[in-house]
Amino acid sequence: MTSFGSDVVYTLKVMAPLVDMLRMVDYERKPAMSYTYAAIGVAKESIEKAFNSNSSKYKAIFDIIDKRWECQLHHPLHSAGYYLNPEYYYEKPEIENDLKLVRGLRKCIETLSESDEVEDKISVQLAQYKGATGVFGIRAIIRQRMTLAPAEWWKSYGAESPDLQLFAVKIHSNKRNKLEHQRLQDFIKYNQALVERFEIWDKIHPMEFGEINYHTQWLVEEMGEMGEDGEPLQVDLVHEDDDLTWAQVTEASGG
């Protein structure tokens, strides 16, 4: 039935971006904490695009996503990771005005600081990061915001703010990578060298959503073509060497 095909396409349009996000946060080779907050926005944007911004098609879905995010997925670590990711912070001025995001950052600082003194130092040094003063304002370092993974950026350029640097590196590090690296010690020396070079490349470069979202474009652009009535177009051919479609067969047979 044509309606069954339409339902399948609808489901794929909704689920593909969400599955992409889940694959990203479970990614073994790169720390994902800095990108989880942003990934929610990317997933919702992909769903909106898939339905040509017709909110009636996805409003109920967004309500479910928002409810899950608030009660189960949103954590102060996600807020801190997003806030301290220079790739996003300096490109999105609205971050500073997001009260939930800032509260999450402050909660994370309070929880992970070893003492009140350290917490106060981090707060003072945070002003340097926010204002891009000192070493944070050097042109070469500004360029590196987009080309280095957050942990490597902080390790390389955060020395003038040592307490904030240590805090940021904690947030952006991924212990699972260390366990994976330990497991690789059993490999022969040649393969070990190749794997280490490969993992170093992954570690120092920022995560690209394109690395994970490999099928969303196919779903949106091919399966997701929409007709004038707002329903997905059926473009599957009965035979590759003919232009007869299954939609025409359905119509002709009275289905």
Whether 253 maps to a domain, the answer reads no
Which range of residues forms the domain containing residue 28? 2-223
Q: Domain for residue 233, yes or no?
A: no
pLDDT band at 202 (very low <50, low <70, confident <90, very high): low
What integer best gives the mean pLDDT of the chain?
77
| Within-domain flag for 110 | yes
Secondary structure in 3-state letters for the chain: CHHHHHHHHHHHHHHHHHHHHHHHHCCCCCCCCCCHHHHHHHHHHHHHHHCCCCHHHHHHHHHHHHHHHHHHHCCHHHHHHHHCCHHHHCCCHHHHHCHHHHHHHHHHHHHHCCCHHHHHHHHHHHHHHHHCCHHHHCHHHHHHCCCCCHHHHHHHHCCCCHHHHHHHHHHHCCHHHHHHHHHHHHCCHHHHHHHHHHHHHHHHCCCCHHHHCCCHHHHHHHHCCECCCCCECCCCECCCCCCCEHHHHHHHCCC
State residue 129's pLDDT score.
Answer: 95
Q: Which pLDDT score, from 0 to 100, does residue 175 have?
A: 47
Label residue 224 by pLDDT band (50, 70, 90).
Answer: very low
Tens digits of residue pLDDT in 136-176? 999 999 999 988 888 899 999 999 999 999 999 988 875 43
Task: Check pLDDT > 50 for residue 182.
Answer: no
Quickly count: other Cβ atoms within 10 Å of residue 25's Cβ. Answer: 14
Q: In this structure, is residue 255 part of a structural domain?
A: no
Quick one: pLDDT at residue 227?
Answer: 52
Residue 230 domain flag: no
* Number of domains, the chain: 1
Of 193 and 8, the structure prediction assigns the larger pLDDT to 8
- Res 194 pLDDT > 90: no
Assigned domain for 206 exists? yes
The confidence band for 68, taking pLDDT boundaries of 50, 70 and 90, is: confident
Phi, psi of 41 (to 5 degrees): -65, -40
Residue 243 maps to a domain = no
Is the full-model pTM beyond 0.95?
no
The reply to whether 245 falls in a domain is: no
CA proximity to 33, closest of 42, 20, 24: 24
According to the per-residue pLDDT averaged within each range, which of 94-98, 160-164, 175-179 is highest? 160-164
